[in-house]
């Protein structure tokens, strides 16, 4: 029996909305890495649709963060603002 090498993964470009969303939650401490991935997905969905607030996206994600919601939102907003994305 032979095994094939896994398929290569194409990374998103650094300025893509997906990469920005996932990098924006990189500094938010979570209980497990999967919580951070889930939060990154919800930030991406919020950036794409702009439905509700960023705090709503954080709450809906169900991520188990280790800081207050306000602190997490401020960290995400700071990163997004540094990339030229308005969060208001």
Residue 1 lies in a domain: no
Q: Report how many domains make up the chain.
A: 1
Dist CA 25 CA 71 (whole Å): 12
What pLDDT, on the 0 to 100 scale, is given for residue 1?
61
Residue 43 lies in a domain: yes
pLDDT tens digit sequence for 12-47: 888 899 999 999 999 999 999 999 999 999 999 999
Residue 66 lies in a domain: yes
Cβ-contact 32, 66 below 8 angstroms:
no
Residue 6 lies in a domain: no
Query: Quick one: which of 83, 3, 1, 6 has its CA closest to 43?
Result: 83
- The pTM assigned to this predicted structure is 0.85
The whole domain housing 34 covers 17-82
11-29: burial string, b at 16+ Cβ within 10 Å, e else: eeeeeeeebbbbebbeebe
């Amino acid at each position: 029996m032979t095994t094939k090498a896994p398929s290569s993964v194409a990374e998103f470009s650094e300025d893509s909305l997906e990469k920005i969303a996932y990098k924006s939650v990189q500094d938010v401490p979570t209980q497990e890495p999967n919580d951070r991935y889930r939060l990154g997905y919800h930030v991406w969905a919020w950036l794409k649709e702009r439905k509700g607030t960023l705090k709503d996206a954080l709450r809906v994600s169900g991520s188990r963060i280790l800081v207050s919601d306000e602190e997490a939102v401020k960290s995400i907003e700071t990163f997004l603002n540094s990339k030229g994305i308005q969060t208001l």
